[in-house]
Amino acid sequence: MSFSPPKDSHLSIGTFALFDIALAVLDAESREWGEEAGMNLFLDESIALVRRETELMAAACGARTGERARVFSIVGAWSEISASAPHYAEVAKYADVWVFGAPDQDVDIPGVVAVPVPKGSPLENERGVVVEAPSFGAALFAGEGGFLDPGDIRSRYYEGFLTGRQDAVDAAAGRLAALLKLSPLSNRWVDTELVGSWYGRLNRRILETLASQRLQLRSREEEIGKMRDETSRMEKMVRGYVGGQTWDEVQRAMEQNQEEIADLDREELTICFCDLVGFTKLSERLTPPEVATILNDHFARLYNIVRTHGGTIDKFIGDAMLAYFREPIEAFQASKKMVQESRSVRLKADWALPIQVRVGLNTGPVAIANLGVPEIRQRTILGEHVNFAQRMQSAAPPHSILISERTLRYLPHTMIRSLEPIQVEIKGRRDLVTAYLWTTSTERREVVNDQMSVRSSLLKTGSRSSLMDRFRKPEN
């Protein structure tokens, strides 16, 4: 016997409300759980499983009792039916099937009657399946995620997926039967053995699916953890090849969705060139690993000094270092430490190797630009003041700092006193250039001069300090 939907189905459907039976529909549950990682995946797959098993209950009824069941399936649109055509064709062998949904395309599946759901109907947002058979009774699957325990969102996934409550399924089956103008079923007895076996089968499938999904989620968590560790190691490695300030600029550019770091036209900086004196000849007597050991130890010390004084290392060039500072005073203080600590570089634990360095300082506006090609880029400082700092370094004696007049303008008098003005030849300049030399000798000389000045003032005839006055004998 075949059935056709009534002509006024769009009116009758509006009176049917499966939502009154189910506490929440799948869409509402998905929105509620949307912020919980992995929950939507779990919910969607589990509901698809239960829905499919519910519809296949008709096959179990037919195999057990030989009776033809009735299946009422409510979906979102007819296209969902076509996507599962083999499944519905299989169910139609054992049951009369009605599928309710939005008529977005034609349905041509033997044994399946497609019923259009008008837009705006209460049934439009419903999802569910009602299966009933004389010997089996009726079962309702409402597309909702069950009751949630506020204390544990994972505690009760399945409650409410399926109900065997007689009043609920009678109401659902009765309304659908009235909608399709079918005769309602009279009093039914329920094959409890059949129901029990089906519940057992469904529970096994659910547990198997749950275990599989837990393994998938665990695998994904492990994969995400590995990716996080790899990203952290990669970031640490890349940061070692990219200067500190450049790294910060890269991060800011990424946060602002920029594809590259913008060039800076002019910025007032103090440029510091530090070079090893005579290292080329020394390296000829050493093995490559020993050369690398010396340079790495030397550069590590320079890096700590530059960072402590707020500077940025632009690059290492062979055995030389180019750095820049925004404060000339900090640049001078850092340069003095470079000279002082160069004597303590060690090649081996028992072999102290004296290293001689010389430093050139110059201050002026420079450009910070990106050089190279998209595959290989370098962010560096450019300009005549950078070149002049390098030439100042080349003219400096070993273990000394040579400072330009432009840098001298920013130094306080207490620092200038330790400098010695000299005339030097600078490549590219016809005349001699006035520069200011700092060495450990000029520093010590200034300290000695200060000490002698204090001592002289204390020993001057007729002058006493306030402390000496305390021990002076009172006059009678």
pLDDT 10s digits, 419-435: 999 999 888 788 899 99
* Tokens encoding 316: 């290492």
Query: Predicted confidence band at 417 (pLDDT cuts at 50, 70, 90)?
Result: confident
For the segment 296-335, what is each residue's pLDDT rounded down to a tens digit?
Answer: 888 888 999 999 999 988 888 888 999 999 999 999 999 9
Instruction: Give the H or E element holding residue 272.
Output: strand 264-276
Query: Predicted confidence band at 9 (pLDDT cuts at 50, 70, 90)?
Result: very low
Most confident range, picked from 17-31, 191-205, 363-377, 423-437: 423-437
From-to residues of CATH 3.30.70.1230 in the chain: 263-459
Instruction: Give the H or E element holding residue 175.
Output: helix 166-179
For the segment 192-241, what is each residue's pLDDT rounded down to a tens digit?
Answer: 444 444 445 545 555 555 566 666 667 777 777 787 777 777 666 655 55
Please provide the average confidence, as pLDDT, over all residues in the chain.
69
Work out the average pLDDT over 369-373: 72
Write down how long the chain is.
476
What's the confidence (pLDDT) of residue 225? 77
Judge whether residue 275 has pLDDT over 70: yes
Domain 263-459 has CATH 3.30.70.1230: yes
Query: Predicted confidence band at 141 (pLDDT cuts at 50, 70, 90)?
Result: low
Closest by Cα among 202, 175, 192, 131 to 21? 175
Query: Predicted confidence band at 285 (pLDDT cuts at 50, 70, 90)?
Result: confident
Domain 9-220 has CATH 3.30.870: yes
- Asked if residues 417 and 446 have their Cβ atoms less than 8 Å apart, the reply is yes
SS3 per residue for 359-401: EEEEEEEEEEEEEEECCEEEEEEECHHHHHHHHHHHHCCCCEE
Closest by Cα among 438, 393, 392, 397 to 418? 438
Work out the average pLDDT over 114-137: 71
What's the confidence (pLDDT) of residue 126? 67
Judge whether residue 270 has pLDDT over 90: yes
Judge whether residue 108 has pLDDT over 50: yes
What's the confidence (pLDDT) of residue 239? 58
Between 37-41, 383-387, 441-445, the lowest mean confidence (pLDDT) is in 37-41
Query: Predicted confidence band at 149 (pLDDT cuts at 50, 70, 90)?
Result: very low
By the 10 Å C-beta count (0-12 exposed, 13-18 middle, 19+ buried), 72 is classed as buried
What's the confidence (pLDDT) of residue 74? 80
The pTM of the full predicted model, rounded to 2 decimals, is 0.46
What's the confidence (pLDDT) of residue 333? 94
Other C-beta atoms closer than 10 Å to the C-beta of 8 total: 9
What's the confidence (pLDDT) of residue 294? 83
Instruction: Report the amino acid identity of residue 102.
Output: A
Query: Predicted confidence band at 380 (pLDDT cuts at 50, 70, 90)?
Result: confident
* Tokens encoding 388: 């002049």
What's the confidence (pLDDT) of residue 372? 67
What's the Cα-to-Cα distance from 343 to each of 338, 353, 356, 448, rounded to whole Å? 9, 8, 7, 22
- Asked if residues 97 and 112 have their Cβ atoms less than 8 Å apart, the reply is yes
Between strands 351-352 and 162-163, the pairing is unpaired
From-to residues of CATH 3.30.870 in the chain: 9-220
What's the confidence (pLDDT) of residue 407? 95
What's the confidence (pLDDT) of residue 409? 93
